[in-house]
Amino acid sequence: MTTRLTLVGPDRKVSADFVNLFDLSKIEHAALQAALDRATDRLADLERTHATVGRDEKGIVMIEVTPFTEGGRMVYDELMQTFAPTLGEARYRGFVDLGGEALERSLHNFGAQERTLRFSYDPSRPNSPYLVRDDFKISARERDASTKAFQSRSEMVDRIGTVTRLLPAEFGAPD
């Protein structure tokens, strides 16, 4: 059985479990978080330049993001250039084994996959007025999808990530 480590929580912050497991100092924790914040912002910029945003007749907002493999690879490399020396050789190898894939998934594979997201808002569903369907192409033959419901716009933004920066300002209700 392989253990996977959650490096990044839904809010894209270095998890407390990661800090504890790798015995990070405050300086190391801050360095990793700063690198993660930079990577997140750079990925958001790449998403913006590779996305189209539209709305159908039902008011569903569709965001299609084409792959940006080269730019995403550069962001990944820069992120690892902070993680490797900050963690040191032994801890870095442990991170790669336990949390490397999870980090890639949490940052949507650094733009290496095609994504189509559908955002709907229905105030008649008070417990979950926001619904998001995320379809992504893993390979030429493999696709995956997930649908998640949220109680508030801020919860949706925290969980779905940077692509929500592309939503129209009037989408949904203010928190």
3-state secondary structure string across 61-96: EEEEECCCHHHHHHHHHHHHHHHHHHHHHHHHHHHH
Closest CA to 40 of 111, 97, 114, 92: 111
pLDDT in tens, the chain (175 residues): 455 557 777 677 898 888 999 999 999 999 999 999 999 999 999 999 999 999 999 999 999 999 999 999 999 999 999 999 999 999 999 999 888 888 888 888 899 989 999 999 999 998 999 999 999 887 778 788 889 999 999 999 988 888 999 999 899 887 7
Q: Is position 10 within any domain?
A: no
pTM score of the predicted model: 0.84
Number of domains observed in the structure of the chain: 1
Q: Is position 66 within any domain?
A: yes
Q: Is position 6 within any domain?
A: no
Write b or e for each residue in 41-67: b if 16 or more Cβ atoms lie within 10 A of its Cβ, otherwise e.
Answer: ebbeebbeebbebeeeeeeebebebeb
Confidence (pLDDT) at 5: 59
Tallying the residues shown for the chain, one arrives at 175
Confidence (pLDDT) at 20: 92
Closest CA to 105 of 23, 2, 7: 7
Q: Is position 11 within any domain?
A: no
Angle in degrees, CA 54, 60, 62, rounded to 5: 40
Confidence (pLDDT) at 130: 97
Q: Is position 171 within any domain?
A: no
- Cα–Cα distance for residue pair 72/85, rounded to 1 Å: 21
Q: Is position 172 within any domain?
A: no
Q: Is position 2 within any domain?
A: no
Please give the residue range of the domain that contains residue 143: 16-166
Is the separation of the CB atoms in 76 and 110 below 8 Å? yes
Q: Is position 175 within any domain?
A: no
3-class state of residue 130 by DSSP: strand
Confidence (pLDDT) at 2: 52
